[in-house]
């Protein structure tokens, strides 16, 4: 039991200690019981299963299987199943009204017909060359495995297939790249742009904008990804590209994943473009019908040369007069289908708009070339001069009071702080986690009573969210308690301290993104990770380099952690899919796609793979439109 990790499923043979207890909270019932083995104790909890009290109190030894939650030194099993014999148990996503046991029984019955309904989806020569199991065998092994070795073989089969389809899709997209709208942007024009900004560009910024300018003046439509760490100045490069296209008479659309980030871009760009005679507007899903109607008019007539917004930019009824450049920010939040839908808003039979995607999730170049094979890649690996690196510390619960003393010292010196929580409200299933709303109230009424505390979270009404962020940006509130909604699009140079509660629940890439909200001014900034120290979190203490963080993630957890499992918008590869579990497998699938595409004797096989990829892209594209 002592080796069970937080967030993992575990099977334990345990001895019951004390009686199982039943409690009720309105319609919710809860059975709790304490168990032990030679290594320690664990508390188990069952929700809305009141009969479990009698089941538990009629026995002493149990084999429990369930999700482990670790909080400090205590461990808890959430809704574990009781196994009569040791076996590998499939765990299905809950369906309301359908118990897991019934679900499992129905699946077992369906497996009897697997050969009749599950046709093989990979060519036989690919299966043999890469030592993959058959489709039907893999399905049976995942639902009724004889051993964990069978599970691993089955997962490898489907992971390889997912990656192969993805590689086919990105290669097809690169192969069919259309002619692009011609845009001139020589060195003199670029110098003029940089001289108009209130800061001196880094060498990486100048190099990247020049690469973009060369693409814009070429024959084919640009398709380029700009990768840069938090604060490397990607937005300024995108503005330069937009200015070049606007000067040439084309419209530019910048699509951001959240309304907060879209507003941030709009407020930062509006004056710059309008001073140069180019209309700049904002289109968001939360706008009133009247505002959306006016925005669509401005886009269709060309009154807006610069359009900034969220997915609303690709919604039905949005028509552009002369779309020449599409920019997507935070590329990891968008799928292939979303960016394709934006490009289609400006495509004609001969030409396609240029595409520029920006990503603040650093990915080593070798992996980026595989994952985004349809894109040319620019790496921005410099930070603006004068930026002090953020100092990161891991803080255990026993040091919380000392940390609050440091927080108050920073506030007394006129600076501001973020406090990040993983939940909005307290949950019956995760009682020990800090939740934003009650934590903000407790701080305001307690240790931070002399200061002004704000609150924001993802599902907060747009007006309240805007007011909370504005109050913090203007200095009206000194502490902002928030969920990860502040991960992107919040720029407050006066904020010098970030406290991340329950930091071990986040991926390194996301922690690095959050940390990037501070360190934007001239003062020394700090990031405190509230958690017990471990090797993974110590990576963030050692380095502020996002590419180093990415490399550590690859070594420790594979590319799944790096690219994240929290996908906003569907992609060809579902978030958290096993396809991201192995670097070796990822490169193997990419090599297979390359061989199939280039071998004249295997074109029939390549055609079969690409047809599956086309069908998948089609299914995703059908779901993109947002009204």
Percentage with pLDDT > 90 across the chain = 41
Confidence of residue 459 (pLDDT cuts 50, 70, 90): confident
Helices (H), 319-478: 336-344, 365-371, 400-412, 436-445, 462-473
Confidence (pLDDT) at 620: 45
Mean pLDDT, residues 554-573 taken together: 48
User: How far, in Å, CA of 67 to CA of 549, rounded?
Assistant: 28
Per residue in 181-216, pLDDT (tens digit) is 899 888 899 999 999 998 899 999 999 999 999 999
Mean pLDDT, residues 244-265 taken together: 91
Confidence (pLDDT) at 624: 35
Per residue in 263-282, pLDDT (tens digit) is 889 999 999 999 999 999 99
Confidence (pLDDT) at 476: 95
Confidence (pLDDT) at 239: 97
Per residue in 472-509, pLDDT (tens digit) is 989 999 999 999 888 776 788 899 999 999 998 888 88
Closest CA relative to residue 141, chosen from 118, 165, 166: 118
User: How far, in Å, CA of 359 to CA of 88, rounded?
Assistant: 40
Closest CA relative to residue 593, chosen from 176, 220, 162: 162
User: How far, in Å, CA of 434 to CA of 457, rounded?
Assistant: 14
Q: What do you get for the CA distance between the two ends of the chain, in Å?
A: 50
Confidence (pLDDT) at 127: 93
pLDDT at 335 exceeding the cut of 60: yes
Asked if the domains 9-86 and 179-380 are classified in one and the same CATH topology, the answer is: no
**Class of 9-86 per CATH?**
mainly beta
Mean pLDDT, residues 317-326 taken together: 93
Give the residue extent of every domain in the chain. Answer: 9-86, 179-380, 391-543
CATH label, 179-380, candidates 3.40.50.970, 2.60.40.4070, 3.90.1150.10, 3.40.50.300: 3.40.50.300
Q: Residue 386 phi/psi, 5° resolution?
A: 95, -10
Confidence of residue 175 (pLDDT cuts 50, 70, 90): low
- Identify the burial level of 548 via C-beta atoms within 10 angstroms of its C-beta, where 0-12 means exposed, 13-18 middle and 19 or more buried: middle
User: How far, in Å, CA of 434 to CA of 432, rounded?
Assistant: 7
When comparing pLDDT for 385 and 562, which is higher? 385
pLDDT, averaged across the chain? 85
Per residue in 11-30, pLDDT (tens digit) is 888 999 989 999 998 888 99
What DSSP line would sit under 36-78, residue for residue? Answer: EETTEEEEEEEES-TTHHHHHHT-SEEEEEEEEEEETTEEEEE
User: How far, in Å, CA of 283 to CA of 315, rounded?
Assistant: 10
Residue pointed to by tokens 């129905």: 106
E-strand ranges in 414-555 read 416-420, 453-456, 479-482, 495-500, 526-530
pLDDT at 139 exceeding the cut of 90: yes
Q: How far is CA 3 from the centre of its chain?
A: 29
Per residue in 440-457, pLDDT (tens digit) is 999 999 999 999 999 999
Non-local CB neighbours of 249 within 8 Å, separated by 6+ positions:
322, 324
Give the count of beta carbons closer than 10 Å to the beta carbon of residue 118: 15
Confidence (pLDDT) at 427: 64
Give the count of beta carbons closer than 10 Å to the beta carbon of residue 485: 22
Confidence (pLDDT) at 558: 59
Give the count of beta carbons closer than 10 Å to the beta carbon of residue 64: 18
E-strand ranges in 343-401 read 351-352, 354-359, 376-380, 391-395
Annotation: CATH topology of 391-543: Rossmann fold (3.40.50)
pLDDT at 626 exceeding the cut of 50: no
Confidence (pLDDT) at 579: 39
Non-local CB neighbours of 380 within 8 Å, separated by 6+ positions:
202, 204, 205, 208, 226, 227, 228, 229, 232, 233, 234, 237
pLDDT at 569 exceeding the cut of 50: no
pLDDT at 4 exceeding the cut of 80: no
Per residue in 602-622, pLDDT (tens digit) is 888 888 888 888 776 655 444
Confidence (pLDDT) at 304: 97
């Amino acid at each position: 039991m002592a080796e069970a990790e937080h967030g993992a499923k575990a099977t334990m043979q345990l001895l019951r200690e004390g009686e199982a207890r039943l409690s009720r909270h309105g319609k919710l019932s809860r059975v709790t019981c304490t168990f032990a083995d030679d290594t320690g104790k664990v508390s188990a909890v069952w929700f809305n299963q009141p009969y479990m009290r009698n089941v538990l109190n009629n026995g002493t030894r149990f084999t429990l299987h369930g999700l482990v939650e670790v909080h400090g030194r205590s461990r808890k099993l959430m809704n574990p199943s009781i196994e009569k014999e040791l076996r590998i148990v499939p765990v299905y996503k809950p369906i309301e009204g359908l118990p897991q046991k019934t679900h499992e029984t129905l699946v077992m019955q369906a497996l009897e017909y697997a050969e009749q309904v599950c046709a093989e989806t990979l060519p036989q020569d690919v299966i043999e060359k890469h030592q993959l199991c058959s489709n039907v065998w893999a399905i049976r092994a995942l639902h009724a495995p004889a051993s964990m070795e069978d599970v691993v073989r089955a997962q490898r089969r489907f992971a390889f297939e997912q990656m192969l389809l993805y590689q086919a899709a990105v290669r097809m997209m690169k192969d069919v790249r259309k002619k692009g709208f011609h845009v001139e942007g020589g060195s003199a024009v670029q110098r003029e742009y940089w001289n108009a900004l209130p800061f001196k560009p880094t060498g990486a910024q100048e190099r990247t904008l020049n690469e973009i300018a060369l693409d814009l003046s070429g024959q084919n439509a640009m398709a380029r990804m700009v990768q840069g760490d938090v604060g490397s100045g990607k937005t300024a490069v995108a503005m330069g590209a937009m200015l070049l296209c606007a000067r040439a008479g084309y419209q530019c659309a910048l699509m951001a994943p959240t309304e907060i980030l879209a507003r941030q871009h709009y407020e930062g760009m509006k004056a710059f473009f309008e001073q140069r005679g180019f209309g700049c507007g904002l289109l968001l899903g939360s706008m009133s019908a009247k505002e959306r109607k006016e925005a669509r008019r401005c886009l269709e007539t060309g009154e807006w040369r610069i359009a900034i917004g969220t997915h609303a930019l690709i919604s039905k009824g949005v028509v552009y007069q002369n779309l020449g450049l599409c920019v997507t920010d935070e590329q990891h939040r968008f799928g292939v289908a979303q960016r394709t839908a934006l490009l289609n808003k400006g495509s004609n039979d001969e030409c396609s708009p240029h595409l520029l995607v920006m990503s603040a999730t650093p990915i080593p170049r070798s992996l980026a070339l595989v994952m985004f094979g349809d894109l040319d890649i620019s790496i921005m690996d410099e930070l603006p001069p004068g930026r002090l690196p953020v100092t990161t510390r891991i803080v255990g619960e026993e040091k919380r009071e000392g940390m609050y003393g440091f927080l108050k010292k920073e506030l007394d010196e006129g600076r501001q702080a973020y406090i990040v929580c993983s939940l909005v409200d307290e949950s019956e299933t995760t009682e020990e986690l800090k939740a934003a709303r009650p934590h903000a109230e407790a701080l305001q009424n307690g240790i931070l009573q002399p200061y002004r505390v704000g609150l924001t979270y993802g599902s907060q009404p747009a007006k309240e969210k805007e007011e909370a962020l504005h109050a913090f940006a203007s200095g009206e509130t000194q502490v902002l308690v928030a969920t990860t909604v502040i991960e992107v699009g919040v720029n407050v140079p006066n904020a010098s301290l970030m406290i991340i509660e329950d930091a071990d629940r986040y991926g390194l890439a996301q922690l690095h993104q959050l940390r990037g909200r501070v360190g934007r001014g001239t003062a020394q900034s700090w990031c405190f990770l509230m958690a017990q120290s471990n090797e993974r979190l110590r990576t963030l203490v050692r380095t502020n380099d996002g590419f180093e963080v990415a490399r550590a993630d690859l070594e420790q957890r594979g590319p799944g952690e790096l690219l994240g499992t929290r996908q906003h918008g569907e992609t060809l590869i579902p978030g958290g899919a096993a396809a991201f579990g192995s670097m070796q497998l990822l490169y193997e699938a990419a090599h297979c796609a390359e061989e199939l595409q280039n071998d004249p004797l295997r074109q029939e096989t390549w055609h079969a793979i690409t047809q599956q990829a086309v069908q998948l892209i089609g299914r995703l594209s059908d779901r993109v439109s947002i009204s």
